[in-house]
Chains A and B, each alone.
Chain A
Amino acid sequence: MGYLSWIIAAPFIAALTIMALPRRWAWSIRLVAAAASGITLVLSLFVFFGYDWRAGGFQFVESYEWIPALGIRLRLGVDGISAPMVLLTGIVIFTGSLISFKIRDRTKEYYALLLVLVSGVFGVFESLDVFFLFFAYEIAVLPMYLLIAVWGSTRKEYAAMKLTVMLVAGSVLVWIGILALYVQTGASQAGISSFDIEALTNPRVQQLFPRTFQLVFFPLLFIGFGVLAAMWPFHTWSPDGHVAAPTAVSMLHAGVLMKLGAYGCIRLAVGVLPEGAQAWAPLFLAFGAVASLYGAFSAMAQRDLKFVIGYSSVSHMGYVIIGICTLSLVGLSGAVFQMFAHGIMTALFFALVGAIYDQAHTREIGIFSGLARTLPWFVGFFAIAGLASLGLPGLAGFIAELLIFLGTFQTYPLVGVLAVVAVAVTATYILRLMARAFFGPFNPRWSGLHDVLPNEWVAAAILVVTLIAAGVYPAPFLSMIDSSSAPIIERVGGVR
């Protein structure tokens, strides 16, 4: 077993271990979870820094027989797009485990589900086999229902049900698309049906997908995955889901799960069906553009901190959709980098909101005031997340948005203008929120609140350092992403 299979296995083994531990040993459970996710983080760092972007392609490849009769293998590997996603997942699950220490209700089941979910997420990012990808995708989505419905808050049953139904509906579309690909490859002279991603993008196999086939099945795959990426207008599960979910689940959810959707759009929809992408991209680009502005304006009108961030995620994922649909190298690379940047910043946001909600039992922006005086660390970390969100240079979000905008200007200049305007709107709502809740006269009602706890501090510091490092020196990320976006754009015939 190599790095990649251990990354998937470690959380899963930890989940099994936790199930075997007695319920009373809450701290052992927490430590096992933290240790396992820490190991995963270290392994994902190895993978990220071990990836040789000059060589490109899939690396760390592992291959095991699974269901040979159907041509299904367990193949793992990462390329320049999935390696940053693996790192992102590693960072978010480690920080998420740290800030989950305060979960007291059914700690055992909570951690077990969380870790199983993460195994699924890693499985999606690392899989080179569409069947396994889908399998892992479902593993990642379903524990979410229980995590929200049991440990959540604020209309949690409604949110959990809506989220699950919408995501399952999305995966039905995806499943149809995947089966179509499988059957179509089998229709060739060679007659070998394949679930292998590398094979599907092979030029000879690509010839098996005629234009009509692509036109029909591209939207199924793109919308199916797009639902999970909170693509407008299939996004409504996301603000409700984020709000209802417990803190670490919100972090994983907004930070990583939404990226699964975007990843699927890139890997399977655009990557495998280039002609479909050419035809359909303008429509989905328009969806992305609407999302970016509409999400930003909606966020401005929210009164609940988590709803602000939830809509902000819709807006930021709108940029990702725009970037993908420009079908330009710069735009696509920007979209992937934005997936990373947004994952980190939104995890930071939710970690901090959780820290305050657990004490104040409210998230109303209007009734907080002057928190900066008593909670300097909290406000400092939150401000950094906010600044990353409004695209301040020096933080990761800036580079990502820069590239997406440049890609958009290359292809659809007017959409580019709208997207840049959306950033100004973002600045407005983020600063309004901060001015309202953190500045102004101190409200003595909140004098009982304490600043971030040590475990939360460590988690937030890791996320902040990542944001700064990726923002100041994005070259390692971009070279890597670039090496794997280029073949996709080449197949699509987009702007290089």
Chain B
Amino acid sequence: MEYAWLAPVLCAGAFFFNVIISRQTPWKHRLSALVSIAAILGAFGVFLVVFSDALANLLGTAAAHGAAAAVDDRSRHLLFDDEPWFQVGRYAFQATLVVDWLSVMMLGVVSFLSALIQVYSIGYMRGDNRFWWFFSVMSLFSAAMLGLVLAGNFLLLYVFWELVGLCSFLLIGFWYQERDNAEAAKKAFVTTRIGDVGLFIGLALLFLQTGTFQMNEIFDAIAAGRIEPWVVTTAGILVFLGAVGKSGQFPLHVWLPDAMAGPTPVSALIHSATMVAAGVYLVGRAFPLFAASDVAMGFIATIGTITAIFAATIALTQRDIKKILAYSTISQLGYMIMALGVGAYTAGLFHMFTHAFFKALLFLCAGSVIHSMEPVLHGTGKSPNDVFWMGGLRRRMPVTFWTFVIASVSLAGIFPLSGFWSKDAILAGALAEGAWVPFIVGVVTAFLTAFYMFRAIYLTFFGEERWRFAAAVPPHAGLLVVAPTAASVPAAAGAMDVQTRRPGEDVPAHLEPEVRPALEEHAVPGHHAEPHESPWVMALPLVIIAIPAAIAGWIGIPGLFDPFAEAIRFGPAHEEALSPVVASVSVLVALAGIGLATVMYWRPIIRPDAIADSVPGAYRTLYNKYYFDEAYQWLINRVVLALAALAATIDRKVINNGIVDTPAGLTGAAGERLRYLETGRVYQYAFAFIVGIVLIGLIIVLFP
């Protein structure tokens, strides 16, 4: 357990090795992938060692003290290692390593998923000319996240927090030649940075009160009431703003869907174990701070609740498979935040744990689909991410299909898969805390979640093979409400106005050929490749992750087998049995959602376009994500850039030309005039001399 620090250090070492050494070698791509994967596997090994130590400790404690032991949260630190970092005056800044069950859990999730995602990337990124850089940054990303979960000092946490943000920036903008990708990367970094302003100020407030960034000392001070309540509340809300940015909570969620610009394995990692998980983790880690303030908790619960339903409604209408998943992530993160906000600590973190597996799996499946659609749709101007141009893939990509279904069913929360247990825990927790609004919103969101996931499944894997006639429809076909069919294609191709809602919109971004040279091989004119299952190096990780995606939730079965709640809890453990009412309600609404998707997208009894046509405004609002991007763009153009222009103009016109150049000009002009006094004529000098003497004489006489 003392070697937990090795996990981030191994990955960071891999980054530096790749950047300094691997890239100089002729086989830089292979070497860097090898080094990175070896490092992350090493980190997973570290996790296994730490985990077995922790398990021994848990069993030992349980045996020695009985179930009532370890009520005090801090005594549950399995390891607390405190190293001085630097010191200024009387303030010491420490590099503190903490291992408790929360960090053990995160250590496992991060290293497991990161390892499999990197293996998958070998296939996905094949042929990219910056393959080595991809793996290097993936290593740094893992290192930062592993460091984050082990940090026991807020300043240290903040350091890794920012590094996680940097790595997402680098990976989202990995294909930077595409202007949109560079913009998306920038947006991710700047948006999360806005949340970080809050986080930083919040931490500074706590520092002012306690003189330290050490988490345990700050929590002690809060518990002992040494910090004034308003400070705790303010600091709590400010620190939470950091999580709002990082975990894509309303209203700073806008960067997360755009972050799909990165390669799909990156999306998988960002949306499961790193980056967005960091925000939820922070709320869990700093829970004693939030729990001490009802206002802060209420704020957290409100933001989480809004986010959960808000993002789920957007996901209903999206066409890009990755965007559907992205809004799903935002919604699910809202679920977790909501749970933490109502005080269901264990449930919120449990959902983060189960969600990591099935969401990573969903993204990797989506990547597999996109990977096989790219050559098919290449040259048609259609995005390979667009579910409307997929269809019928289940027979062509059976592994992807089945793993996608497992993950979706789990996400939808159908008994007995993983997601059911964590979702149920959240709903039961909300109900137990008497939080009715979150409970109802949770149930509605469960319905929406099941609906949009099965909409995606039907559009992608069932129905007609619509990619066959993608070439027949002009690229700027506009907004389709319903997926095209063989019957509708001539209409769509001919009479655009029938199907088109807003022409010129939603231009699919296809990948630049230079970035993906592999595409060129398939793009034989007149002949398009057909979708096929991905190579084993991609399919195998899908199968492996499918196992925890399905069953990871089984370690949190209330009343039966619930080691999760025993290990990760806030305050004393309380035994709760499964509530049959809550469980059946949540499963029933999920089934209803699946049913509705079925009758709309598989057996079209209800026509989706009829619904869209009956409420065009609502449909357009959802499709355009409530116009948040537009509003922020307006804010940036009209306020931020205007301020910038104003400052720059003031600087040039007022301060420089006015205050600085004017006196300079006056001096110059004065010199210009005064030089005419130097005439060189003696009689003029003599005259001035005499006038001077007379004046002085007069002054002496008049003012004695």
Binding site for B on A (CB under 8 A): 162, 165-166, 233, 236-237, 240, 294, 297-302, 311, 329-330, 333-334, 370, 372-373, 387, 392-394, 398-399, 402-403, 405-406, 409-410, 413, 416-417, 420-421, 423-425, 427-429, 431-432, 434-435, 438-442, 473-475, 478-479, 482, 486, 496
| Count of inter-chain pairs, beta carbons less than 8 A | 149
Q: Given known contacts A406-B91, A434-B186, what 7 new A-B pairs fall within 8 Å (CB)?
A: A301-B649, A334-B88, A398-B159, A424-B190, A428-B193, A441-B177, A478-B86
Assuming A294-B651, A297-B648, is B183 touching A435 (CB within 8 A)? yes
Measured between beta carbons, the chain A residues less than 8 angstroms from B660 are 162, 166, 236-237
Q: Min CB distance, B644 to chain A, in Å?
A: 4
Chain A CB within 8 A of B600 CB: no
- Name the B residues within 8 Å of A434 (CB-CB): 186
- Of A373, A420, A442, the contact of B201 (CB 8 Å cutoff): A420
Given A392-B162, A427-B189, A427-B190, is A233 in contact with B655 using a C-beta cutoff of 8 Å?
A: yes
- Say yes or no: is B437 at the interface (Cβ < 8 Å to chain A): no
The answer on a CB contact under 8 Å between B186 and A482 is no
Mask, B169-213, CB within 8 Å of A = 1, is 100010011110111011001100110110011001101100000
Q: How far is the CA of A426 from the CA of B34 in the complex (A)?
A: 37
Q: Which residues of B contact A431 (CB under 8 A)?
A: 169, 186, 189-190
- Determine whether the beta carbon of A427 is less than 8 Å from that of B88: no
B645 lies within 8 A of A435 (CB): no
Q: List 5 A-B contacts (CB under 8 A).
A: A398-B159, A420-B201, A423-B197, A435-B182, A479-B87
Given A423-B197, A482-B89: A439 touches B182 (CB 8 Å cut-off): yes
B486 at the interface (CB under 8 A from A): no
Residues in A neighbouring B169, C-beta threshold 8 A? 431
Inter-chain contact B89/A486, CB cutoff 8 Å: yes
Chain A residues in 8 Å Cβ range of B644:
297-301, 429
Taken together as a complex, chains A and B put the C-alpha atoms of A427 and B196 apart, in Å, by 11
Q: Which A residues are in CB contact (< 8 Å) with B89?
A: 329-330, 333, 482, 486, 496
A427 / chain B contacts, CB cutoff of 8 Å: 189-190, 193
Q: Are A417 and B201 in contact (CB under 8 A)?
A: yes
User: Are B86 and A233 touching (Cβ within 8 A)?
Assistant: no
Is residue B472 within 8 Å, beta carbon to beta carbon, of the partner chain? no
Q: Does B85 touch A at the CB level, under 8 Å? A: yes
Q: Using C-beta atoms within 8 Å of the partner chain, give the interface range for chain B.
A: 35 or more
CA distance A421 to B545 in the complex (A): 42
Q: State whether A393 and B640 are in contact (beta carbons under 8 Å apart), knowing that A330-B91, A431-B186, A435-B186 are contacts in the complex.
A: no
Chain B contact residues, CB within 8 Å of chain A = 84-91, 155, 158-160, 162-163, 166, 169, 173, 176-179, 181-183, 185-186, 189-190, 193-194, 196-197, 200-201, 204-205, 207-208, 512, 640-641, 643-651, 655-656, 659-661, 664
Closest chain-B Cβ to A464's Cβ sits at a distance in Å of 12
CA distance A440 to B178 in the complex (A): 5
What are the residues of chain B within 8 A of A423 when measuring CB–CB?
197
Give the distance in Å from the alpha carbon of A425 to the alpha carbon of B200 in the complex: 15
Report whether A420 and B200 are in contact in the complex, using a CB–CB cutoff of 8 Å.
Answer: yes
Q: Are A482 and B87 in contact (CB under 8 A)?
A: yes
Residues of B within 8 A of A399 (CB): 86
Q: Which residues of B contact A329 (CB under 8 A)?
A: 88-89
A372 to B158, CA, bound (A): 29
The 5 closest A-B pairs by CB, nearest first: A439-B182, A301-B648, A393-B159, A439-B176, A300-B644
How far is the CB of B90 from the nearest CB of chain A, in Å? 7
A1 CB to nearest chain B CB (Å): 34
Choose one: A162, A406, A435, A441; the contact of B664 (CB below 8 Å): A162
The closest CB in chain B to the CB of A440 belongs to: B179
Closest to A166 in B: B660
Q: A393-B162, A435-B182 are in contact. Are A475 and B648 (CB under 8 A)?
A: no
CB distance from B195 to the nearest CB of A (A): 10
Q: In this complex, what residue of B is CB-closest to A239?
A: B651
Let me know if A393 and B194 touch, CB within 8 A.
no
CB neighbours of A482 from chain B (8 A) = 87-89
B648 near A405: Cβ-Cβ < 8 Å: no
Q: Considering only CB atoms, which chain B residue lies closest to A330 in the complex?
A: B88
- Residues from chain A with a CB closer than 8 A to the CB of B162 are 392-394, 398
Residues A402 and B201 in contact in the complex (CB < 8 Å), given A162-B660, A162-B664: no
Do A424 and B90 contact each other (CB < 8 Å), given the known contacts A165-B664, A439-B182? Answer: no
User: Which residues does chain A contribute within 8 Å of B647, judged by CB atoms?
Assistant: 294, 297-298, 301
What residues on B are CB-neighbors of A333 within 8 Å? 88-89
Q: Per a CB cutoff under 8 Å, which of A237, A425, A440 touches B177? A: A440
Bound together, the chains give a CA A136 to CA B249 distance in angstroms of: 56
B417 to chain A, nearest CB (A): 39
Q: Are B88 and A233 within 8 A (Cβ)?
A: no
Residues of A within 8 A of B201 (CB): 409, 416-417, 420
The interface residues of chain A lying within 8 Å CB-to-CB of B158 are 393
Q: Which residues of B contact A473 (CB under 8 A)?
A: 86
Decide: A428 and B640 in contact? CB cutoff 8 A: yes
Whether the pair B159, A439 counts as a contact (CB closer than 8 A) is no
A311 to chain B, nearest CB (A): 8
Give the distance in Å from the alpha carbon of A399 to the alpha carbon of B87 in the complex: 11
Chain A's nearest CB lies how many Å from the CB of B246? Answer: 15
Q: In whole angstroms, how far apart are the Cα atoms of A298 and B642 in the complex?
A: 10
In whole angstroms, what is the CA distance A478 to B91 when docked? 11
A442 cross-chain contacts in B, Cβ below 8 A:
177
Nearest chain-B residue to A302 (Cβ)?
A: B648
- Check A301 against B645 for contact (C-beta < 8 Å): yes
From the candidates B193, B204, B651, name the one contacting A406 in the complex (CB within 8 A).
B204
Q: Considering the complex, give the chain B residue whose CB is closest to the CB of A421.
A: B197
Q: Is the CB of A416 within 8 A of B87?
A: no
CA of A393 to CA of B95 in the docked complex: distance in angstroms? 13
Which chain B residue has the least Cβ–Cβ distance from A297?
B647
For the complex, what is the distance from the CA of A410 to the CA of B208, rounded to whole Å?
6
